[in-house]
Amino acid sequence: MEVIELVKIILTIYAWAVIGMLIVFLCRIAYFYEKTSGQRVGYYFLFLPALLLAAGAIWYLVYDREFIGRPISDLLLCSGGVLLCLFGFRLQELMTGERR
């Protein structure tokens, strides 16, 4: 294994670990808000985007270490990202009082 390949793997693992920690923080914020405000947030729905993102990343790591050109992985990553964005926007709307 080349040094460049090893660096790619280390950086990929580091990046996905940071993404995972951010998802955990978002989940904890949603859980805290649900418990303190009494509003139903549905923080457990964050597991679906987390699973989709993890599946997409694992697919890439198993089949090809380059994050380019795998349609199934791209679809998993895109759908996980979109669901994560939708959840974040919904949580923001709930926390800021759904101002319009």
Residue 63 tokens read as 């089949």
Using the predicted structure, report yes or no on whether residue 100 has a pLDDT greater than 70.
no
* Mean pLDDT score, 8-18: 86
Stated as kind and residue range, the H or E segment containing 78 is helix 71-95
Q: Confirm whether pTM is higher than 0.85.
A: no
DSSP single-letter state for residue 35: H
Phi-psi map region of 69: left, alpha, beta (phi>0 left; psi -120 to 50 alpha): left
**pLDDT score of 8:** 80
In tens, the pLDDT along 38-85 reads 889 988 899 999 999 999 888 887 876 666 677 888 899 999 999 999
* Confidence at residue 57, expressed as pLDDT on a 0 to 100 scale: 84
Comparing 5 with 17, the larger pLDDT belongs to 17
96 secondary structure, DSSP code: T
